[in-house]
Amino acid sequence: MGARDVLRNIKLDAPDDIQYRSRMNLFLVLTFLFFTGSLIGWGLEVFWRKFFSRNNPAHKWINPGFLTGPYLPLYGLSLCLLFVLSMIDVSFIEGAWLRKLFLFALMAACITAVEYVAGLIFITGMHIKLWDYSRNRGNIKGIICPQYSFYWMVLSALYYFLIHPAILDWLYWFTNHLSFCLVVGYFYGVMTLDLCYTFNLSAKIREFAREKEIAVHYENLKSELCRRNEELKEKGNFLFAFSAKSPLKERMRDIFERLESQRK
């Protein structure tokens, strides 16, 4: 069975064993897409922060995202969304281009909603700002803005016309080589350990943020820590950006005091 038929073959009136196999196939497909999107998204963000990010004026190589490893779950979830939304029937809309435009707008709206919820959880729950659109017009709490929603719409169109057909071929290969599930399973195992490590780290950042009554800008903090390591002539670590000889809270306090003195 090809990947194009995975969603279509889930029939509510089918026997229980057929429903189970179909849903298991869909589950495996989505786990593979999440795995693929997380890795590719991380690579895109690395180059974006290196060459285009305004929060990295020194153009240093910075490990993006909240987690330590080379993956960004937000992109993995977005790829799963794009895949599922590409399968919906929009034939009720007259005109091929209008159907595509509606579909791309829906994709962009869904990804923007995911971006907003994720950003809000980190800001309100952890006092950490993973990204900041405060400089962009029409932004909401610096989490989402029309400009990036438009970018999501363009990327959705690129995905639909250029990437989706290739993904269907990848998924056809994956559903016929289920031994690759071991690699995907290893990925999820590593990411689970990473989550434990990173949430322990974020607890220290949250404690400092509450003490100073601020929201810590994650990307800026990584840039400042990299600069601080260079000043102290300590060797930095691309993946483990927060590792150093001195405690994290002490380094954050030094950075905060230095930035405050520069503003004065």
Containing 129, the helix (H) or strand (E) segment is strand 128-129
- Convert the pLDDT of each residue in 152-193 to its tens digit: 999 999 999 988 887 777 767 776 777 777 888 889 999 999
pTM of this structure: 0.80
Do the strands 216-217 and 128-129 form a parallel or antiparallel pair, or are they unpaired? parallel
Task: Report the residue count for the chain.
Answer: 264
Range 60-84 average pLDDT? 88
Half-sphere exposure of 82 (CA within 13 A, CB side): 30
Task: For residue 20, name the pLDDT band (cuts at 50, 70, 90).
Answer: very low
Residue bearing tokens 């281009």 = 97
Containing 158, the helix (H) or strand (E) segment is helix 146-158
Residue (of 110, 111, 113, 101) closest to 161 by Cα position: 101
Q: Could you write out the DSSP letters of every residue in 140-154?
A: BTTTB-HHHHHHHHH
pLDDT score for 237: 66
Euclidean distance between CA atoms 221 and 171, whole angstroms: 38
pLDDT score for 185: 87
pLDDT at 129 over 80: yes
